Amino acid sequence: MSPSQVVAASYAALADGLAQLLSPLGEVILHNIDKDEVAYVAGALSPREIGDPSNLRELGPSSDGKAIGPYEKINWDGRRIRSLSVALPGDVPLMLCINVDVSHFEAMRGLLDTFLRSPSQSTVDAAEPLLRADWHETLNRFIAAWTSERALDLRTLGRVDRQALIQAIHKSGGFDGRRSVPYVANLLGVSRATVYSQLAELKDLGEQA
């Protein structure tokens, strides 16, 4: 096997590996730039075969090894394809083209957009009295806003931040709800005694003031 054949075989192995990684959504094609034809196909998104014309002249491939793309194509069956092409170094001028079927992701995005679509204002208005009476929702919104303003994660709060949050909840009246202390303690990952102890300290400070 000549050195050029060894290089071509190595790139074919690379194409196989990439196709296996992307399976069943990916196809990897090696093009012979001089012959302007398909030299190797791994995966099967399109009916292209070895020896088929590459039609790379329109793409204008470069030989400097830089990637071309990502760019978009339409598959034979109408599916949207996202592609990337790289001119490979070596005695045999080859171009590696990676094609990925993104139609499944488009369908998922459409489903997510539908599911996460904001409710109508009339629906929001109708639910407002219910939410206003739910102290769990009120607390959740308060805690989410408090942590977001400080770029903090509720799950990883340190002792100082946790105490500051308990104090902020206390000032907002968040502990007025029945069984609110056990609820907050559970959210913060501490014992009820810890929350009650800090509330007692805050009460003492308030009376002293």
Q: Can you give the pTM of this predicted structure?
A: 0.54
Residues 8, 100: one domain?
yes
Q: Would you say 168 and 148 are in contact if contact means Cβ atoms under 8 Å apart?
A: no
Domain annotation covers residue 82 = yes
In sequence order, what are the beta bridge partners of 68?
A: 85
pLDDT tens by residue, 91-142: 777 888 999 998 888 888 888 888 877 767 776 566 566 555 677 888 888 8
| Structural domains in the chain (count) | 2
Q: Are residues 141 and 78 in the same domain?
A: no
For 44-76, what is each residue's pLDDT tens digit? 788 888 888 887 765 544 555 678 888 888 887
Q: What is the 3-state secondary structure (H, E, C) of 161-189?
A: HHHHHHHHHHHHCCCCCCCHHHHHHHHHC
Domain ranges, residue 66: 3-105
pLDDT, tens digit, 9 for 90 and up, residues 141-152: 889 999 999 999
- Order of all β-strands in the sheet with 80-88: 37-42, 26-32, 94-101, 80-88, 67-74
CA distances 31 to 48, 130, 193, Å, are: 11, 64, 70
Please report the pLDDT score of residue 17 as a whole number. Answer: 92
d(C-alpha 42, C-alpha 86), whole Å: 16
pLDDT value at position 145?
92
Q: Check whether 1 has a pLDDT greater than 60.
A: no
Is residue 112 included in any domain, yes or no? no
- Please tell me the predicted confidence (pLDDT) of residue 3: 44
Together in a domain, 75 and 133: no
- Identify whether residues 50 and 141 lie together within a single domain: no
